[in-house]
Amino acid sequence: MHILVVSDSHGNTSNLKEAMLRHPEITRVLHCGDGEADIVALSAAYPSVRFDAVRGNCDLGALFPLRRLLRIAGRRIFMTHGHSYGTKYGVELLLERGRKDRADVVLFGHTHRRLIERQDGILLVNPGSIEGRFPARMATYVVLDLGDGVVTAEGYEL
């Protein structure tokens, strides 16, 4: 099972659509915040795709939760935007939460910088910003593979 992981779209639905077009096998999208209106718009446009999202620091008045623990294909996936976990200074608080929730994968955004690394048996993934402006100047996203064996993540650029 392949899952599109994005964050920080900040109104750029065209980049979200482009990422989905590049990966027609995607049937699920996980958005790590700062794009609630974008997810609402896309979910109406793509009724066969399941969308899950969390609220980011720019999603004022949002209905999405600050964090979620999902079970997908037998894996435990913790999602948050990251601003309430000090992600601009490190990932220790996220790792602590991941261990507490026995997560296989921890997804977060906020920093606009892509990160894919495994620590303490937990796959940490920040897809970067699908919007692609600050600071990297490049739109990035990740595709998770929840197939047999180890969960893997591959980063892409638009």
> pLDDT tens digits for 63-106?
899 999 999 999 999 999 999 998 989 999 999 999 999 999 99
Confidence of residue 8 (pLDDT cuts 50, 70, 90): very high
Mind listing the pLDDT tens digit for each residue in 19-35?
999 999 999 999 999 99
CATH fold of 2-157 = Purple Acid Phosphatase; chain A, domain 2 (3.60.21)
Give all strands of the β-sheet with 114-119 in edge-to-edge order.
Answer: 67-72, 75-80, 105-107, 122-127, 114-119
Answering whether pTM is above 0.85, one says: yes
Candidate from 2-6, 9-13, 145-149 with smallest mean pLDDT: 145-149
The pairing of beta strand 105-107 with beta strand 75-80: parallel
The pair of three-digit structure tokens given for residue 62, joined into one six-digit string: 């949002």
Both tokens of residue 99?
């261990």
